[in-house]
Structure 1
Amino acid sequence: MTANMHEFPDAAALAAALADEVAACLAAAIEERGSASLAVSGGSTPKRFFETLSTRDLDWSKVTVTLVDERFVPADNPRSNHLLVSTHLLKDKAAAANFIPLYYDCSSIEEAARMATEKAARIGNPFDVAILGMGTDGHTASFFPHGNNLQRALDLSGPRGVLTMEAEGAGEERLTFSFASLSDARLLALHIEGQGKKDVLIKAKAGSDEAEMPIRAVLNRAVSPLQIYWAP
């Protein structure tokens, strides 16, 4: 599968360019189908992009935002992706967007995954935009190296929806959309910053073992062309 590299001089230039591209995709989806969907990732990297995107002019009331993955923690937990998105994206003009979380206060994470899958089914397929991040260990979404549910999560012939994941590098138990749910997004983007992440990407491209570096699944098998956004 093709991956297109978009390099920018700094994080601010990247955030502006990615926000413009995402806003254009969402606006086109609204015009064509009357609604748009956006799945975003957590971590520190997307904060500036979220802040920039939140100011873009479009009919946000017709946009549904969800998370690519989430820790099994309540929305007020400092490590919650829900909290991150509420703070940095769902504000300004984007405050009008609809938000579908992945965490639900259930007795088990498996029950939360079932509930998240059910709620997400209303969004429609494929996502208009899915934005991935990548860890220094080569994980993306909650596809962690040697995760307990990794093979199932990376199975493109498997069902769409939300799965659970436990892994040594993950910290908390995780909820994550399956690769099948993300792979065919109309805009599939990987947002990374810093030379360290670029080096991880180079290493990932040089090998094929997806259990070692799950980002390889996205690089090699995604249905949609991967757009990589990078700044030093």
Structure 2
Amino acid sequence: MIQADFHRREFADGEELAHGLADWTAERLRVAIAAQGVALLIVSGGKSPARFFELLSDMELDWTRVAVTLADERRVPDDSPRSNARLAREKLLRNRAAAANFTPLADVRLPGDQELAAASARVAHLPLPADVVVLGMGDDGHTASWFPGADGLAEAMDLGARQLVAPIAAADAGEPRLTLTGRVILRARAIALEIEGEAKLATFAAALEPGPEEAMPIRAVLRRAADRLTVFSAKQT
């Protein structure tokens, strides 16, 4: 088993988890603003974050000093129901958090190479390193858009990746995607991993066992950033 020095917080269900994660995130953003004048929050898409986003959106802090971007994005229009940017705008960037400064990743109006260059330039202008990165995990052990078997996966997960943003294409990823690389995610000051349900807890337990990172990319976070990782888990969704 991986000897990872991460913190772990366990909750009865997904509702309690969402409250705990929102409080934890807001407090770290407040600390960052007090120390630096600004804070950078990186969030993920999927189904699990919706409750967390809604709670965080009404947390009391100076949202005008918070920059928000995405850990990854599908190459789909902003109004697509599969767009992470749409989810963030509808669930997070409202209430008090409407004052935050949001930087999307994808822009499908551009050709692929231009879209990647534009995304990389936008991320480079954010106040890195990130103060908080909130990640999810798939049943296959992927996180962000680091999918097992994806072309360019090793480079995308690399702490010293040449790029801040990488293109990802994998059989299980559906649409082509853009993802932040290990150069951004693994250098964050604090990382949260949200895990809900028995199936994902089983996947997480498997990820703690020895094995290649390419087979279960969440291992890259567990092995290279465990000292800054807090796992938020609940058996019930």
Q: Same fold (TM over 0.5)?
A: yes
Which of 33, 48, 52 aligns to 1:49? It is 52
Deviation at 1:109, TM superposition (A): 2.4
Percent identity, aligned pairs only? 45
After superposition, the C-alpha distances for 1:53-84 in whole angstroms (9 at most, x for unaligned) are: 00100010110110000000111011000000
- How many residue pairs are counted as aligned between the two chains? 232
After superposition, the C-alpha distances for 1:27-54 in whole angstroms (9 at most, x for unaligned) are: 1111111111100000000100000000
Aligned 1:42-191 pairs, distance under 5 A: 42-191=45-194
TM-score w.r.t. the length of structure 1 is 0.97
Deviation at 1:12, TM superposition (A): 1.4
Contact 1:147 1:166 in 2 (8 A): yes
Cα distance between partner residues in 2 of 1:224 and 1:117: 27
What's the secondary structure of 1:206's corresponding residue?
A: coil
Contact 1:183 1:223 in 2 (8 A): no
Question: CA 1:163/1:105 → structure 2, altered by over 3 Å: closer, same or farther?
Answer: same
Structure 1 residue aligned with 2:207: 204
Contact 1:141 1:176 in 2 (8 A): yes
Residue 129 of structure 2 aligns with an amino acid whose one-letter code is P
Structure 1 residue aligned with 2:230: 227
Residue 226 of structure 1 aligns with an amino acid whose one-letter code is L
Root-mean-square deviation (CA, aligned residues, Å) is 1.2
Deviation at 1:186, TM superposition (A): 1.4
Q: What are the ranges of 5 or more consecutive residues in structure 2 without an aligned counterpart?
A: none
Contact 2:73 2:84 in 1 (8 A): yes
What's the secondary structure of 1:66's corresponding residue?
A: strand
Q: Which moved more, 1:162-171 or 1:205-214?
A: 205-214
Question: CA 1:223/1:161 → structure 2, altered by over 3 Å: closer, same or farther?
Answer: farther
What's the secondary structure of 1:123's corresponding residue?
A: coil
Contact 1:6 1:229 in 2 (8 A): yes
Cα distance between partner residues in 1 of 2:163 and 2:229: 19
Residue 112 of structure 2 aligns with an amino acid whose one-letter code is I
After superposition, the C-alpha distances for 1:143-193 in whole angstroms (9 at most, x for unaligned) are: 000100101101212235111000010000010000121112111110110
Contact 1:29 1:36 in 2 (8 A): yes
Structure 2 residue aligned with 1:9: 12
